[in-house]
Amino acid sequence: MRSSVRSGVRSGWMAAAVALLCLAVAGCGNNVNGHTYAAADGSVTIAFQSGGAASVSFGPIASTCTYAQSGKQVNLTCGGQTEVLTMADDGSLNGPADGAIGHLTKVK
């Protein structure tokens, strides 16, 4: 009986470890770092780089900006102006309804 209890405890720990690993891997998919997003018409492109830097292009105008991500919210700051982008369940980004950035999809 003692070995079956020990075996059950060991199985429980193993299941918990596997669950945590799955959650960690799923959470990594929601990180913008290293990815590029663009509007369907190509009017806006954002390349998120390591260290909180982002290259943003509005048509022919390019800017170097900064970003900070907290969960599904990405604060993009360019020239002192901050746009709050929200990551959708499909991995795309959405700007505020009254903002300069609309819907962006991951292209890289």
Are residues 99 and 72 located together in one domain of the fold? yes
Look at residue 100 and tell me whether its pLDDT is greater than 60.
yes
Range of the domain at 86: 36-106
Report whether 105 contacts 40 (CB < 8 A).
Answer: yes
Cα dihedral value 83, 81, 35, 96, nearest 10: 10
Are residues 8 and 59 located together in one domain of the fold? no
State how many domains the chain has: 2
User: What's the mean per-residue pLDDT of the chain?
Assistant: 82
Are residues 55 and 73 located together in one domain of the fold? yes
Q: What is the pLDDT of residue 99?
A: 82
Are residues 2 and 53 located together in one domain of the fold? no
22-51 per-position pLDDT tens digit: 333 344 568 999 999 999 999 999 999 999
Are residues 40 and 67 located together in one domain of the fold? yes
Does 2 or 9 have the greater pLDDT score? 2
Are residues 18 and 42 located together in one domain of the fold? no
Model confidence band, residue 85 (pLDDT cutoffs 50, 70, 90): very high
Are residues 90 and 57 located together in one domain of the fold? yes
4-21 per-position pLDDT tens digit: 545 554 454 444 443 333
Length, in residues, of the chain: 108
Classified as helix, coil or strand, 41 is coil
Are residues 49 and 78 located together in one domain of the fold? yes
Q: What is the pLDDT of residue 3?
A: 54
